[in-house]
Amino acid sequence: MVKTYGEGAGAVTALDHVSIAFPAHSFTAVMGPSGSGKRSLLHSDAGLDRPTSGSVTVDGIELTGLDDRALTRFRREHLGFVFQAFNLLPTLTVRQNVVLPLELGRRRKKPGAVDELLTRLGLGERAEHFPSELSGGQQQRVAIARAVLGGPAVIFADEPTGALDTGAAAEVLTLLREAATRQTIVMVTHDPVAASYADRVVFFADGRVADVMTDPAPEAVATRMTHLGARSRTSGSSPTAGRTVIGGAHR
């Protein structure tokens, strides 16, 4: 996959012939220095941005072949999102924000599932509050509950614990870790401790995959990040545009 911003002499290549697979029911952390391409990968893989060339296949469906309407429907029905901007609707309560994707997709929710999830995330007493009445950390947890509740095939998370204290972050990461038994989790993070909850860490540098670490430990992740050179790579240029494959067959 290639993603280029701009044209001509001012063009910037954010993703440089990337080919990568995220197996179904796996938890992958994506790390790298600023400008390494990790968020361009996340946005392209999530169908929020279109690659310049190459393909993205999620849950058996090639996103690059979908028009905008079909892509919007696919994201709503099959993907969950937790990004740095919480994207909560200010006029809806916590409960209403959490169940909104299910209602838009006309999907049923298991009785008691909302209350159980909110209680687990420390939001049980905040269910009828509005986002403006919550702290940043609480809003982050509402966004995570919204992403997890519907059981989407893939959850894309961008710094999901960035606004949380250590205890709340551990609870959220444990929840994502457990969700990976049923869903595919792709998480961008700068935190070696957060990355250690994943099955593997994919390191990016200069728009390319620089390294992959399985069964990551915080100390090993931190050490690898400090030695991630500006041109550190595990392979040479691909003769093709590359492709990303996430999850298994479309259900």
- pTM metric for this prediction: 0.87
Instruction: List the domains of the chain with CATH numbers.
Output: 24-47+67-234 (3.40.50.300)
Identify the CA nearest to 83 among candidates 42, 51, 126. 42
pLDDT in tens, the chain (251 residues): 999 999 888 899 999 999 999 999 999 999 999 889 999 999 999 999 999 999 999 989 999 889 999 999 899 889 999 887 788 999 999 999 999 988 887 777 777 889 999 998 889 999 999 999 998 888 988 998 999 888 899 999 999 888 788 888 888 899 899 889 999 999 999 999 999 999 999 999 999 999 999 999 999 999 999 987 544 444 444 556 678 899 865 44
- Contact yes or no for 220/213 (Cβ under 8 A): yes
